[in-house]
Amino acid sequence: MFIFLVDCYRNAQIMAAQEQDATKLKTMDFFNQGAVDARLAAQNMVNAIEADGLGTVFLGLILNDPQAVIDLLALPQLTFPILGLGFGYPDDQPDLKPRISLKFKVGEKAYPYHKDILPATSDYDQAMTHYYDTRDSNRRAENFSHYVVNKVS
């Protein structure tokens, strides 16, 4: 397993060694840059691992208790665990999880607004209900809309 970090600590050390102010490293701009870099590195690692025939899974659950991960890994200030990546040889070939239609993700010259979102996503809700109901492990009675409500509530 790999844990990908936002790492502004290293650059703060470089700034300190040259007696320069590192205050900007504590801004959301630098955090977001580090988060994007970490996610791109994780995706590149997935590409390499899967090219060798192994399976991968992103582990967002490390964000459920980031302080525990920080403590476990003895991370210094200005670092933050953003994403985990598990990998190995899969025991089986699970069905691919359905993906939401591009009409909800891609707009042409404007945001893809949907005036009545629940009817618009009903096909995806049905596909996710079927997916969760028929998979071999971790079955659950849930669809996309329920997942969103439970996650945000």
Q: What is the per-residue pLDDT across 19-63, written as a single tens digit (0 to 9) for each?
A: 999 999 999 999 999 999 999 999 999 999 999 999 999 999 999
Counting Cα atoms < 13 Å in the Cβ hemisphere of 22 gives: 16
Counting Cα atoms < 13 Å in the Cβ hemisphere of 150 gives: 7
Sign of CA dihedral 136, 138, 142, 145: negative
Give CATH for domain 2-88: 3.40.109.10
90-138: pLDDT as tens digits: 887 778 889 988 888 888 899 888 888 888 889 999 999 999 888 877 7
CATH 3.40.109.10 in the chain, residue ranges: 2-88
Q: What was the pLDDT predicted at 117?
A: 85
Residue of 140, 105, 145, 138 whose CA lies nearest to 124: 145
Report field, pTM of the whole predicted structure over 0.85: no
For residues 39 and 17, give the distance between their C-alpha atoms in angstroms, rounded to a whole number. Answer: 28
Q: How confident is the model at residue 17 (pLDDT cuts 50, 70, 90)?
A: very high
127, burial (CB in 10 Å: exposed 0-12, middle 13-18, buried 19+): middle
